Chain A
Amino acid sequence: MEWALAVAAMLAVVVVVFVARPFLRDPTPVSDRLDELAPEARERLALAEERDRALAALKELEFDHRTGKVSDEDYRAQVGPLRRRAAEVLRALDSGEQAHHERVPDPGQRVP
């Protein structure tokens, strides 16, 4: 049974090293702070999701209209507000981005 114990011991050592790795690799880090989204980044994320939602809704409205699920008048009634909403969100995103870039110029970051 010695070999079994040896295997167990080796396993334990490997595992402990793996768990300790973040500390071993970086004993004196510049910052140990866990990234988190700043409030403005959270807002932009929410806007991005809103934008995607509005664009997807438009796409789906088009598709439903083409397949006959949505009548012409329903389509006309809904497409306007949806387009306006999407434009609104895109504008908000753009201005937010501009503000962000002015505050924190970061040539490496490309936000789509």
Chain B
Amino acid sequence: MAPLGRAALLLAFGLVLYALVAGSYAAWKRRRRLALSAQNALLAAFPVTLVAVVVLVVALGRRDMTFVYVWQHTSHKLPLGYALSAFWGGQEGSLLLWLLVLTGYAGLAVWLNRRSRELVAWTVPVFGLVGVFFAFMLCFVSSPFNVQPPRADGNGMVPSLQNPYMLAHPPLLYLGYVGLTVPFAFAMGALLSGRTDERWIVATRRWTLAAWTFLGVGQLIGAHWAYVEIGWGGYYAWDPVENAALMPWLAATAFLHSVMIQEKRGMLKVWNMILVALAFNLSLFGTFLTRSGVIDSIHSFSKSSIGGWFLAFLVLMVVLSAALIRWRLPLLRTKTKLESLVSREATFLYNNLLLVALCLTILWGVLYPILSDAVRGETRSVSKPYYDFFLHTFGLPLLVLMGIGPLVAWRRASLRSLGKTFVIPFAVAVVSGVVLLALGFGSSWPGLLTYTFSAFVAASIVLEFVRGRAAAGGIVRLISRNRRRYGGYVVHAAVVLLAIGIAGSSAYQTQREQILRPGQSIEAAGYTFTYTGLNGVKGSDYAGYRALLAVSGHGERFRLDPGQNNYFIEGPANEASIYHDPRSIGDVFTTAAIAGKHTKNIDLKVFVKPLVNLIWVAGFVFVLGALIAMWPDAVEQRRLAARYAAGAAPAGI
């Protein structure tokens, strides 16, 4: 079986290499049949990679311990679902997943746009180049098909990963990361072919939106998993592994906005090229931060074999993107200038600057340990206050801009019209601010500002819907005729919910820790927690305990049972116990550990986190908004098809 997998991968490598080499030659020398042939090679790469994937998945399902990979990441007792998910659990498997998604997306994107022959002729080799790297790694550096004499049982899967969220989180993230390759490839294809029109944008618009959505949802799921499984009381720790996904997402957010400016005004062509390259390269960087020892930080002690290769490929892609943009700079420059600093274009620009600034500060924080080691010989790292400072500095203005942008007209807005449209949201914000201050929320100024700005944005979004409905004659008509705009507003609403949830659960959180004897109580934020006793628990592969808590307060009574599971193979795992409080849309979050040996005392930690569940609700609203924005519009498709009829119709999904 393993030889079949290896053979399939070699075949895939050959195909993408051909797509790269033959494709480049064909595009350069304008050979039609060769270009088609290269395109076919790229298309064929997906089913071939799929064969390799099937081989691995079957081996995982059968717990075939002759596969080193299966032995490393599964065990016979592991439930089937989790055993299959080990496909992306290890380094080799995750490389294979990257290649699978890449060839799948590339094939589909190229095939849908096959009539734009000139553009696609150059896009194929770009996809080929990225594919060559991953296929090369899989064939020659880090193969999932290494075999060994069969062993009795495998190493198993870390219990904290045996969780439905962990089934969804990596594939969603990969669908996002790899998805950003599509706009990148088409953008570079456009540059290579010397085309300055917007076909590449039109062709990749929904791809970018979809990738961005997957990346966003994947991160939220990851945060939720960290919150309930790891159980330190939070959901985001500014760990390099988390930042790895946030950075490309921020760049992609900036890109989604600035692309609209190019579409409406024909400006910012160079900036858009830079952004799409930035998003893609950060995506590559992100995959590697997570999987290898590219950053030898506190959070990844082991340097893996592929770090060096990765870095080399990343440098290559950065250099190539920069060189391509520099080469085509004269073609991209336009004469259109910003007409006014008070216009929607301008707010989009400010938004872009803030997003990119935030992205770069996070990048700086991630790279700091390496840089300080190189410069001072001593590894230093930045900590939470650094990230918090910049999150506030850039995030709060971003929040405000979300409310301002929709209210401002394109090209220029006179201060008088601004005044009129701003009055209501501004008043809502001021009133909310004053009320919150009176209620004591001034204890945290970032929290207060977040709430106040959120009120501003929420009011402006509601107004948009109200005014728009009146003008269009009905909400459904309004949304269906302006899908991107109103889908965007729904996404903004999701961000507002996210901001409120984050502010509530961090700025206004109550935290207590104490060692309790049986019968003792502790008080936090109006709740009383009484430790009544210890219970043993048992499962098929673990034994553990739960600390029983009787909780009362704010007119509610409930029970919680935080504790620990001790897995026979994998070791101990913290089990937090969470109560979802409808009163505060928040959580009462508890963890407990036995305080020492031969004792019934527990070390109890309690977090009362108001509004934290808004964060997860925001995820659903986010997806809804993205779906509305992505929804195909037959009228628009026909118009675009007609526009490009001379060459061919771009067929973005």
Contacts and interface: CB of A to CB of B under 8 A. Distances in A.
Interface in B104-150: 117-118, 121
A46 B266 CA distance: 10
B11 A45 contact: no
A36 to B, nearest CB: 5
Interface centre among B36, B51, B266 (most CB of A within 10 A): B36
A35 B120 CA distance: 11
Nearest to B12: A15
A102 interface: no
Contacts of B197: 42, 45-46, 49
Contacts of A74: 409, 413-414, 416-417
Contacts of A37: 118, 195, 646-647
Interface string A44-64: 111011101100110011011
B4 A8 contact: yes
Contacts of A52: 639, 643
A42 B119 CA distance: 13
Contacts of B41: 19
B470 A67 contact: yes
A74 B417 CA distance: 8
Given A1-B3, A4-B4, A11-B48, A34 B35 contact: yes
Contact of A63 (B32, B40, B471): B471
Contact of B407 (A33, A57, A69): A69
A50 B266 contact: yes
A107 B414 CA distance: 50
Contacts of A36: 30, 118, 193
A4 B117 contact: no
Main SS at interface, chain B: helix
A29 interface: yes
Contact of A12 (B11, B18, B407, B417): B11
A69 B417 contact: yes
Contacts of A105: none
Interface in B612-646: 639, 642-646
A50 B264 CA distance: 9
B559 interface: no
Interface string A89-112: 000000000000000000000111
Given A5-B4, A57-B410, 14 more contacts: A1-B3, A4-B1, A12-B7, A15-B11, A22-B32, A22-B36, A36-B193, A37-B646, A42-B195, A45-B644, A63-B482, A67-B467, A68-B467, A69-B467
Interface of B: 1, 3-4, 7-8, 11, 15, 18, 26-27, 30-37, 40-41, 43-44, 48, 51, 117-118, 121, 193, 195-198, 263-266, 407-411, 413-414, 416-417, 420-421, 464, 467-468, 470-471, 482, 639, 642-647
Name the 10 nearest CB pairs between A and B, nearest first: A8-B7, A67-B467, A4-B4, A22-B36, A22-B33, A34-B30, A71-B417, A66-B471, A112-B642, A34-B32
